[in-house]
Structure 1
Amino acid sequence: MIKKIVTGRLKTLTGLHIGTGEITENTDSPVYRNVNGDIVIPGTAIGGALRTLATRIAPHLEDKKCIALDENPQSKLCDCLVCNLFGPLNIGKNSEEGRASKLWIHDAVLKNDLKTSIRDGVGIDRETGTSSRKTRAKFDFEVVPKDSIFSFKIALQDNVTKDEETLLSCVLAEWREGREYLGGNIARGMGNIQLEDIKVFSIDLSNMDALMTFLKEDDEINAADEEKDWLERNINDARQLVKNDIDKEYLYNSFAQIDFVLKFIGGFVINDLLKSVQSGFDFCPKMENGKFIFPGSSFRGIFRSHAEKIARSLVTLNSSNASDFLNKCQACNPFADKEDPLTSCNVIFREYKHTHKKEEIKDDKLCLACQVFGSSFKGSRLYVSDGEMINSPEIKIMDFLAIDRFTGGGKEGAKFDALVLWQPKFKLRIFIENPKEWQLGWLMLVMKDLKEGLVSFGFGKNKWFGKVTIENETMKIGAISEVFIPSGLEKGSSYEGIFNTQILQLKELTEKDSKPIELWVKEFHKMLSDFRRVNNLVPASDTYFKDDVSDLYPKEVEL
């Protein structure tokens, strides 16, 4: 019987894509709809995300961990908090050993009438810095826009224990803080959601009036009484239970969140194919729900590519020859085939799996870039939000004409035009779970290059478009206990859910006497120095130590 009901609103902080797995005439991947044609987030998607986060938080609150976290999970009934609340993963040999979930999770239905859009995706070639045509890494998908509102409803059965309620509260608190991601392409700017207006109702069916109302009404909330401060009470209890001696990477231990404004110095265009057709211009800035946006995928691709460039440059300077470089190479090319330079970890592992079918792919087998940004064998822990435009830039119409190299005049058929945003500003966010200090140091080096205008985005980089700097940079650090606070920082003065948090300006971090950024960058250099590829997982070749390139462009030049 139902004991409590949790309601709220799910708000999309970025675009959202939960696909059907089908291909239609309009897009490679449409969003999920129910039989009435309404856009919904399936209860299975909500339940899966709730359970995943609960599985990673629960060991901080109790001594047991779910068998899902074991390297070799056994086919046995699990009695951890998570399995008791959500239902066991394995019911054992005898189905009578199984238990039903104590939660009923409803589909979340879209409440406001916002139009979906079609978004394009493309991979970045690591050698040219342009779209990766060779691998045909072009695709599109339907997107539910930012600021969409979905219903949210969970019913708790009367056999839910106090400890299980506490665990569920910890998970809902993370959703309330906007630190949850649903659906596909979450590492590339999609799926960031926030749970708002959380209310909890209790039902006492031993009361005759409440029972009659419950039986008569379609909505059981009409028979319930609101329970004030349920979430905060449980969160306060959870903070007292947190264990300080657990240090496992598979748990949710800490996070770092970097917020900043990306300021374009000149023009900026990321082409929206649909809008360009509708407007009649060859290039038109990306729009969703009538607003200009900077897709997180567009930022992430260039951001990762530049991070890889930093790592490979430092390694090249400390490598004596091609073999030495390949053994130390910290960043593969995600789109490189087997015989291509900087062969991707995905291709190497595919070959490796032919002879090591049962072996798990662990972090030490991945290049450093794939450890941070992810690969098809290991999901990313770094998420980039879509950029929200925060100013009203001038929109310019620009014409372009290619020059015929033989006549010196305009090349026939090579004229095109573009709608260009002039000096726009976008607010972006980078979020990383369980950051290691060397990873923070790497991110700080990329942020430094962004600040100094060394990175460009979008169309027309050789025309001086896409040049940027950053401003208003802040970093929020959250840690479930002091063990996970990065070097150079002290415990914060505030809490969000069960996480101790602190927000610092990046300028503050550089000026602190403890020099945290300097410590993190040193850890990054140490990781570069110590890293070695595992045998049989070395790329076939590279882009520098081959042919005559290293002779034409030596590492060190005498002035």
Structure 2
Amino acid sequence: MARKIDARYIITGTLIAESPLHVGGVNNDPMVDLTLAVNGAGDYYIPGTSLAGALRGWMEELEGDSQIISMLWGPRLGQNGRTQSDDGHASWVLIEDAVIQGDVQTELRDGVGIDRFGGSAAEYIKFDRAILPKGSKLKLQITLDRVTESRLALNDAAWVLVCQLWAGLLRSLQEGELSLGAAKTRGLGTVKLEELEVKEQLFNSRAGILALLKGESGNSSIFDLEANTPRKARPALTVTIDWEPISPLMAKAEREGIAVDMLPLVSGIGDHVAFVLPGSSIKGALRTQAERIVRTVCPAFNHAAATKPVDSKKAFLQQVEVPLIENLFGKAAKTEDKQQLGRMGALSVADCYADYEISGQQWEKVQTAKDSAELLQALKEAKLHDVQQAFHVAIDRWTGGAADQFLYSTLEPMGVQWQPIALRLNLSRLEGADLQKQGVALLLLVLRDLIQGRIPLGYGVNRGMGAIAIKSISFSVSGTNLPDDIQALHNVTLKVAPEQSQTYLTAQHLAQISSLAGLNDAWKTWIESTIPQEVAS
């Protein structure tokens, strides 16, 4: 039976990638482990199913899997592929595939797991991922139907709530609060909605049908996007870290140069490129320190890291199974009893870009320079005056001279200014006030070590590279019904003295320092509750 539609709302706009983007597809490139989705016309795109899952997930995160959301999007299927009842129906929301606009130059990012036993790359945990660069554009088109004469229809009160949900969703998209695709907590997938339009088509009146036949769909304001009324926000703790490097700092690119062996990783920003520290790299460094903290206070968790089973892949998965760390940073997916187990981490880390951009042509000259003189000229043209070629050599332990075929060079950025590091802790992924306070307490301990210079970033951190100095750390809290100890961090700024000998709160927040006692108590309670379980095991 055909649907009796009273009104249809067509939502269009342009999604701008605020960070690189990866939506996987069938692997048709033997040189790349994780390729991008390509449609039948050969264009990169985001399937409508992926968009629908992300948008529905946003609504459910704020409202729960309510009856209204099930009526709007259709009931979720059970494990047998069928609905829980006989009230199944197709979604009232139609989302078109979003095709990438224009010609884009894809990039390749390396991913690697670090063996907790040896500190080097874990065996069989090395992969690369194709990504679309920052600034990529996608056309968004969503169709929302309203039905009033059906057992599945939404009444007026429910429709008002639906409009509020869509208004909040679209405003969140406009403010860049949603992420799409893979590796969303590791720097990828942040998008921002621009050029938003909402068209209304009325089917329940003669005038509406005539207007539709004439192609005269009018603009609609049913979502009231300009209203100043507060909207629901995800409960989150946002951390902004202002910092600077105090030694050469770079992430290593997969591609090698000609005159220089190791190049710093760059990422596209429109027609330009900039040095970048991937969110995955920063998050990995923070996770390593967080694990070190937990293993220090709970020594029993060292067993997995100190024992190396025969199966290297299983060994790595065992090494990263650390309580609280998995809640904060995520749990690797694995299959047990034919069920895939895994957990997305609550902590998201954005890619961090250098402040200075250079054109793609200038960077290509740097990569293809044939000798040191040509390289120096290419760097001069790109105004990379503080980027230098450094030579390294391994020493032969027998002769004391340079080891044969172990001379290499790196292009090391010096004195480059970087944008702030952005962290976002999604507190809704930490269930319960106690777990939220424990997760925030552990994050603060990691930030303390970052201030004290214990967490270098990027490549070559054991060879004099990657040291950083923190200038300030700012906190912002969103959402409601959060513990007072976490709410007290809102608008607090930690400023670090130039000599890095002390950390102090700004004067207007000195009175709030007592709130950290509650987080400290939650951290101690977690340790005490964990140790007896270790002893018993």
Task: Sort the TM-score into its range (normalised by shorter chain).
Answer: 0.7 to 0.9
Give yes or no for contact 1:440–1:521 (8 Å, CA) kept in 2. no
1:192 alignment partner AA? T
Residue aligned with 1:146, SS: coil
- Which residue of structure 2 lines up, in the alignment, with residue 231 of structure 1? 225
- Which residue of structure 1 lines up, in the alignment, with residue 355 of structure 2? 390
Residue aligned with 1:463, SS: coil
Deviation at 1:253, TM superposition (A): 5.6
- Which residue of structure 2 lines up, in the alignment, with residue 451 of structure 1? 451
- Which residue of structure 1 lines up, in the alignment, with residue 13 of structure 2? 8
Give yes or no for contact 2:438–2:523 (8 Å, CA) kept in 1. yes
CA displacement, residues 130-180 of structure 1 (integer Å, 9 cap, x when unaligned): 332xx2211001001112121112111022622222223233333333222
Give the percent of matched residue pairs that are identical in Structure 1 and Structure 2. 24
Q: CA RMSD in A?
A: 3.2
Residue aligned with 1:437, SS: helix
Alignment of 1:267-286 (within 5 A): 267-274=248-255, 276-277=256-257, 279-286=258-265
CA displacement, residues 333-370 of structure 1 (integer Å, 9 cap, x when unaligned): 5x9755799x9795499xxxxxxxxxxxxxxx961211
- Which residue of structure 2 lines up, in the alignment, with residue 471 of structure 1? 471
Give yes or no for contact 1:330–1:369 (8 Å, CA) kept in 2. no
Give yes or no for contact 1:7–1:198 (8 Å, CA) kept in 2. yes
2:292 alignment partner AA? K
CA displacement, residues 204-228 of structure 1 (integer Å, 9 cap, x when unaligned): 34676764564465xxxx5232428
Q: CA 1:33–1:191 in structure 2 vs 1: closer, same or farther (change >3 Å)? A: same
Alignment of 1:349-360 (within 5 A): none
* Separation in structure 1 between the aligned mates of residue 302 and residue 170 of structure 2, nearest angstrom: 37
Deviation at 1:330, TM superposition (A): 8.7
1:370 aligns to 2:370 (yes or no): no
1:82 aligns to 2:69 (yes or no): yes
Residue aligned with 2:462, SS: helix
1:254 aligns to 2:235 (yes or no): yes
Residue aligned with 2:400, SS: coil
Alignment of 1:506-545 (within 5 A): 506-507=494-495, 511-515=509-513, 516-532=515-531
- Which residue of structure 2 lines up, in the alignment, with residue 305 of structure 1? 288
Residue aligned with 1:454, SS: coil
Residue aligned with 1:514, SS: helix
- Which residue of structure 2 lines up, in the alignment, with residue 42 of structure 1? 47
- Which residue of structure 2 lines up, in the alignment, with residue 407 of structure 1? 399
1:271 alignment partner AA? K
- Which residue of structure 2 lines up, in the alignment, with residue 427 of structure 1? 420
Q: CA 1:336–1:164 in structure 2 vs 1: closer, same or farther (change >3 Å)? A: farther
Alignment of 1:21-420 (within 5 A): 21-59=26-64, 65-66=65-66, 80-90=67-77, 92=83, 97-132=87-122, 135-159=123-147, 161-205=159-203, 211=209, 214-215=212-213, 223-227=217-221, 230-233=224-227, 236=229, 254-274=235-255, 276-277=256-257, 279-289=258-268, 290-315=273-298, 325-326=299-300, 329=301, 333=305, 338=309, 346-347=317-318, 367-375=323-331, 376=333, 377-391=342-356, 394-420=386-412
1:295 alignment partner AA? P
Give yes or no for contact 1:442–1:521 (8 Å, CA) kept in 2. no
Give yes or no for contact 2:250–2:277 (8 Å, CA) kept in 1. no
* Separation in structure 2 between the aligned mates of residue 180 and residue 464 of structure 1, nearest angstrom: 37
1:390 alignment partner AA? D
* Separation in structure 1 between the aligned mates of residue 83 and residue 36 of structure 2, nearest angstrom: 36
Deviates more, 1:253-262 or 1:407-416: 253-262
Q: CA 1:211–1:26 in structure 2 vs 1: closer, same or farther (change >3 Å)? A: farther
* Separation in structure 1 between the aligned mates of residue 116 and residue 440 of structure 2, nearest angstrom: 22
Aligned length: 458
Deviation at 1:509, TM superposition (A): 5.4
Deviation at 1:129, TM superposition (A): 3.4
Give yes or no for contact 1:12–1:191 (8 Å, CA) kept in 2. yes
* Separation in structure 2 between the aligned mates of residue 387 and residue 238 of structure 1, nearest angstrom: 29
* Separation in structure 2 between the aligned mates of residue 299 and residue 212 of structure 1, nearest angstrom: 57
Q: CA 1:117–1:89 in structure 2 vs 1: closer, same or farther (change >3 Å)? A: same
Deviation at 1:439, TM superposition (A): 1.3
CA displacement, residues 92-120 of structure 1 (integer Å, 9 cap, x when unaligned): 5876x322211111111222433111111
Give yes or no for contact 1:489–1:514 (8 Å, CA) kept in 2. no
Could you tell me which runs of 5 or more consecutive residues in structure 1 were left unpaired when the two chains were aligned.
60-64, 67-79, 240-251, 316-324, 350-364, 493-501, 539-559
Q: CA 1:25–1:157 in structure 2 vs 1: closer, same or farther (change >3 Å)? A: same
* Separation in structure 1 between the aligned mates of residue 178 and residue 40 of structure 2, nearest angstrom: 27
Deviates more, 1:167-176 or 1:148-157: 167-176
2:139 alignment partner AA? S
Deviates more, 1:367-376 or 1:175-184: 175-184
